[in-house]
Structure 1
Amino acid sequence: MDRSAPPSPVSSYSARRGLFPENEPFAHGWLSTEGPHEIYYEECGAPSGKPCVILHGGPGGAINPTMRRFFDPAKWRMALFDQRGCGRSRPNASLEDNTTWTLIEDIERLRVHLGVEKWTVFGGSWGSTLALAYAIKHPDRVEALVLRGVFLLTEPELKWFYQGGAAMLFPDAWERFCAPIPPEERGDMMGAYHRRLTGADRKVQAEAAAAWSQWEGDTISIRGPEARPAKFNEIDFAVAFARIECHFFMNGGFFPEENWILNNIEAIRRIPGWIVQGRFDVVTPLASAWALKSAWPEAQFDIVWDAGHASTEPGIVDALVRATDEALRL
């Protein structure tokens, strides 16, 4: 379905689906890895329900209670976890042994720990990147993919958001993003931020982390800054978020080649998929979702005409809830 045009007069916003009721975990814990990391995870919904794993964004974000509400808690067994260095995983903000491939190992480690044979994988933004990479590596463990705000982690996407493209739409927010960086270093904003976020000066690190996180928060929704997640204002969250995100982006997502996901898309062509994309997504523009859909025509594709990047915008919520309901029938 393409919602790229405004709704007709017959259409009604009241017909849109909303989030499912709030629900609390029925189990949680920390999962040991082969290295220094301990991964926090929780299970929600129905213990005997259809299994799924929910991947948060960033890299460097964290799980939150809203993420549980895209799935019917009476029918799904939801697994969520904080990725390495994130949220309640330990140690916080650590970059050691923190790559796309070790995160994929953690997803498999969690699947085995929970006794799941196959599951639906749900992810938005960086979560969509990780979901696609995991599915390419382990297609036999993925029953379906539900993706939002597609991010392929390519150089053009990074340059768009961190080197002036999105600044044309948000010059006020861009000015704040540039403020901690001297003019002579602004030709490589990611590099300049990486030096500060990984440096020893904690004050400089905190200032850089706050500005890096605010830039994403300011551009995340067409509803304006009031839609920015509250955690973006918390310095501990901002430091972990900015350090880990910049670490991954400076290393090209640790992919062996540009466009690795699309170059390996054949591995997932037979997996049922849903792609939900906001028409006015500035953080991960529509071109990436369009490229994914072109390479994977079997996936269902939903452009939400009145939405940006945030998962909580009404049209995005509606499309994702409908997708998870459809995935129940597989």
Structure 2
Amino acid sequence: MSEGRQDRWGGLSVNRLAAAHVAALLDQAGPLGLRVERLDDGVTLVDAGIDAPGSVTAGLAIGEICMGGLGTVRLSTRASDGWPAWLEVASAQPVLACLASQYAGWSLSASKEEAGGKKFFSLGSGPARALAGREDLFTELGYRDQADCGALVLEVDRRPPQVVIDKILRDCGLTAEQLVLILTPTTSLAGTTQVVARVLEVAMHKAHELGFALQDIVDGSASAPLPSPSPDGGIAMGRTNDAILYGGRVHLSVRGSDEAVHDLALRLPSLNSRDYGRSFADIFRDYEYDFYKIDPALFAPAEVWVSNLDSGRTWTAGSLNMALLRDLWLEESR
């Protein structure tokens, strides 16, 4: 990395900043319902919901690890808004926190033979992505971390095979003792929580896809309702997506022309998608479980507020659809 590109981000290291959060997670593993294992090669493996029970509190901590220590994830009780549990996410460095760290963009896979009889696939999220830099996104950001420690979160229901662990170590340039892998199945409390905690990241990724200049996004905050996980993987995955698509509210503070900021506000919400209005699980099924057939415009928060710091003007678009979420998530009491 050139010195100029390093200076653009003030020398911030998402892995070093996340390290204190990782240490706290390991220290509180028992109370948080986690199981920590040191593998034979020295890698630390954290089970946050496969054989260990995990917890919402663990999911909050993992959400902050995913954001590279550059964001906060909090739980609030807001039954007056139509659901009792909400996540509130904020970052003063949303580009690094969300895109260089939290975004689940690192594809990791192994064949049946490599994985011992069953194919393995996971998208890695968290700060170790910035060590590997395997995605084109890091070239666009002009960012690459060079820390001597790393944490990666895998949304899986089984431990990764050794061939995948070896690839992570090799691509990150870490020794085994320097790597922490956190496993968070979406069917678990921690897994559901850390996925819904991506509500701000979803908005950041959508803004990037729409061509808005990332360097002009200064600050971000967001909230989304936290559903109960389902033991069915497809339903659990659908609920986490629905929480953001229909219940996610995001506020971005940006710089630029009023025209560009207004355009971003109008184009950002999920209701711009032709697929808007049904549960994500049903949409995914109807597209034969092919993410690439889904309208990309759907992957966005329900409601956005965008403030232009250069002019002092704010625009809003979209709206929460709590009626749909209650229909999907809430059982009638008789």
Under TM normalisation by the shorter chain, which class is it?
A: 0.3 to 0.5
More relative contact order in 1 or in 2 (CA 8 Å, sep 6+)? 1
Higher strand share: 2
TM-score under structure 1 length normalisation: 0.32
